[in-house]
């Protein structure tokens, strides 16, 4: 009965005063410094949302798996670790890490943890639910600003505690940490950007993390001439340093896409352009780069058109070829792509596709017949390349949905398949 009452006391403390009070009492009761963290090293106590110290990160990396009814003791660091796990959500874990613990002290600390386990489980479940709701609200908010445009960007910035200037223009910079993206707390990321800002005496706005990318809103071209101190060369140097700084800091190849500058009310356009700039290089397998939308050449003009016009161009240029490929499994699209990559070298294309060179010639004739074009004409080749390249980017960004409209009785209908690219 006494144990049950103690557990309820811990639970009441957690419910009324939160994790900080719970952590303080645990620390006081055991007489040892305590860190509460998730498996990825983001702290809950004594601070919230920051990375745990390096020595604890190292412990987490090398720590073996163990059960909730067990503990782990790191002899070298003299650290004692307990685990709290939600039974219905095994990926939700809270680790209690005690520092400077001697082996003879493990038993008493273990008893204290057990009496507080109910309270810790209650906190973990509430934190998980809070994080889920916060994530959903965050997604809805960002979509409202950058996709649906029904929430002003001013609201977003004010929510983040960021000063805005209505007489300025701003641009969006997107940073992609790659497939093996490390889990970086926003506070840690912002701290590094702040250090960069102070070191290079430049102006920037703190970043926002969304959709797996870090979104940084940066000052663009100012209406007042006296503010316009960043030359083109200086900005390019700045982006390159950003890329290098974060690649080295997080041991990844950071890729950066930058949109054009716009007034705050039109900042969603810069976000779209930054996504396009990033994806334009990534779908070709590039990584560890800085790509500005302004430097996309003729493709800047393509993507600057209304989306409906771009999609119409892609479909008008390639639909018949894609429909034939779908109906006959003819491999025309991959042949055309390989021809483009080899500058229409038939022999090299045949080698890459593992087919006879005459097969490539036959497919070329079929492409020319289907599309009613002359493949020897440079303008024709450029249009085909542009349609493939632009279509790939739009598909990768989910702005153009691949698919097709088929016929229920294709043989008797006499109607060809209509593709949706």
The secondary element (H helix, E strand) that includes residue 300 is helix 298-304
* Sign of CA pseudo-dihedral 60, 65, 71, 77: negative
| Separation of alpha carbons 120 and 96, rounded Å | 10
Average pLDDT in the chain: 82
Report the pLDDT value the prediction gives residue 187, as an integer from 0 to 100.
Answer: 64
CA angle 44, 46, 47 (to 5 degrees): 65
Tally Cβ neighbours within 10 Å of residue 328.
Answer: 11
Report the pLDDT value the prediction gives residue 63, as an integer from 0 to 100.
Answer: 86
Q: Name which of 217, 211, 305 is nearest 259 in CA terms.
A: 217
Q: Is domain 307-419 in CATH 1.10.10.2840, yes or no? A: yes
User: Tens-digit pLDDT profile for the chain (421 aa)?
Assistant: 455 578 888 888 888 888 899 999 999 999 999 999 987 788 889 988 777 888 888 888 788 888 888 999 988 889 999 999 888 776 788 999 999 999 999 999 999 999 999 889 888 888 777 666 655 666 676 677 677 776 677 676 666 656 666 677 888 899 888 877 666 666 677 777 777 777 766 666 666 777 778 888 887 644 334 334 455 667 777 788 888 888 887 788 899 999 998 888 888 899 999 999 999 999 988 999 999 999 999 999 999 888 889 988 998 999 889 888 888 888 899 999 999 999 999 999 999 999 999 999 999 999 999 999 999 999 999 999 999 999 999 988 887 776 666 666 655 444 555 665 6
CA angle 331, 335, 336 (to 5 degrees): 120
Question: What is the DSSP code (8-state) at residue 225?
Answer: G
pLDDT tens for 224-237 read: 343 344 556 677 77
Report the pLDDT value the prediction gives residue 354, as an integer from 0 to 100.
Answer: 94
Joined together, the tokens standing for residue 151 give 């929430």
DSSP one-letter string for 261-293: -EEGGGHHHHHHHHHHHHHHHHTTT--S-EEEG
Joined together, the tokens standing for residue 392 give 């790939």
Report the pLDDT value the prediction gives residue 227, as an integer from 0 to 100.
Answer: 38
- Residue 130 DSSP SS3: helix
| Separation of alpha carbons 336 and 353, rounded Å | 11
Beta strands in 131-207 (DSSP E): 168-176
| Separation of alpha carbons 348 and 6, rounded Å | 77
| Separation of alpha carbons 194 and 217, rounded Å | 13
Beta strands in 129-193 (DSSP E): 168-176
98 and 79 Cβ atoms separated by less than 8 Å: yes
Report the pLDDT value the prediction gives residue 408, as an integer from 0 to 100.
Answer: 64
Q: What is the pTM of this model?
A: 0.68
User: What does the domain layout of the chain look like in residue ranges?
Assistant: 2-133, 163-296, 307-419
Tally Cβ neighbours within 10 Å of residue 185.
Answer: 18
Q: Which residue has the tokens 């034939």?
A: 324
Q: Is domain 163-296 in CATH 3.30.565.10, yes or no? A: no
Q: Please tell me the class of the 2-133 domain.
A: alpha beta
Report the pLDDT value the prediction gives residue 400, as an integer from 0 to 100.
Answer: 76
> Rounded to the nearest 10 degrees, what angle do helices 357-371 and 332-341 cross at?
110
Tally Cβ neighbours within 10 Å of residue 351.
Answer: 14
DSSP one-letter string for 6-51: HHHHHHHHHHHHHHHHHHHHHHHHHTS-EEEE-TTSBEEESSSSSB
């Amino acid at each position: 009965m006494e144990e049950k009452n103690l557990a309820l006391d811990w639970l009441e403390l957690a419910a009324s005063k939160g994790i900080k009070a719970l952590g303080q009492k645990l620390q006081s009761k055991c007489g040892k410094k305590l860190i509460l963290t998730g498996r990825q090293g983001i702290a809950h106590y004594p601070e919230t949302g920051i990375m745990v110290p390096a020595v604890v990160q190292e412990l987490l990396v090398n720590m073996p798996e163990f059960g909730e009814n067990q503990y782990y003791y790191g002899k070298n660091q003299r650290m004692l670790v307990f685990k709290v796990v939600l039974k219905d959500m095994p990926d939700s874990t809270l680790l209690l890490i005690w520092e400077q613990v001697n082996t003879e002290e493990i038993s008493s600390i273990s008893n204290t943890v057990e009496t507080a386990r109910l309270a810790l489980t209650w906190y973990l479940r509430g934190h998980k639910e809070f994080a889920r709701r916060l994530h959903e609200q965050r997604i809805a908010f960002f979509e409202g600003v950058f996709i649906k445009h029904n929430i002003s960007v001013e609201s977003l910035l004010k929510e983040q505690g960021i000063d805005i200037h209505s007489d300025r223009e701003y641009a969006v910079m997107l940073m992609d940490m790659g497939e093996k993206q490390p889990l970086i707390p926003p506070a840690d990321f912002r701290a590094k950007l702040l250090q960069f800002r102070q070191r290079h005496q430049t102006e920037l706005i703190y970043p926002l993390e969304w959709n797996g990318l870090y979104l940084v809103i940066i000052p663009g071209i100012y209406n007042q001439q006296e503010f316009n101190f960043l030359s083109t060369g200086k900005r390019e140097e700045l982006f390159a340093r950003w890329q290098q700084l974060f690649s080295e800091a997080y041991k990844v190849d950071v890729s950066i896409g930058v949109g054009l500058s716009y007034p705050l009310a039109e900042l969603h356009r810069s976000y779209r352009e930054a996504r396009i700039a990033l994806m334009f290089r990534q779908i070709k397998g590039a990584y560890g780069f800085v790509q500005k939308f302004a430097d996309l050449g003729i493709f800047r003009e393509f993507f600057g058109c209304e989306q409906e016009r771009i999609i119409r161009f892609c479909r008008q240029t390639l639909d018949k070829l894609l429909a034939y490929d779908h109906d006959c499994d003819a491999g025309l699209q991959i042949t055309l792509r390989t021809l483009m990559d080899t500058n229409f070298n038939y022999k090299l294309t045949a080698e890459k596709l593992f087919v006879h060179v005459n097969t490539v010639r036959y497919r070329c004739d079929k492409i020319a017949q289907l599309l009613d074009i002359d493949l020897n004409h440079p303008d024709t080749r450029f249009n085909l390349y542009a349609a493939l390249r632009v279509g790939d980017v739009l598909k990768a960004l989910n702005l153009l949905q691949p698919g097709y409209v088929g016929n229920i009785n294709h043989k008797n209908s006499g109607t060809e398949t209509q593709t949706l690219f």
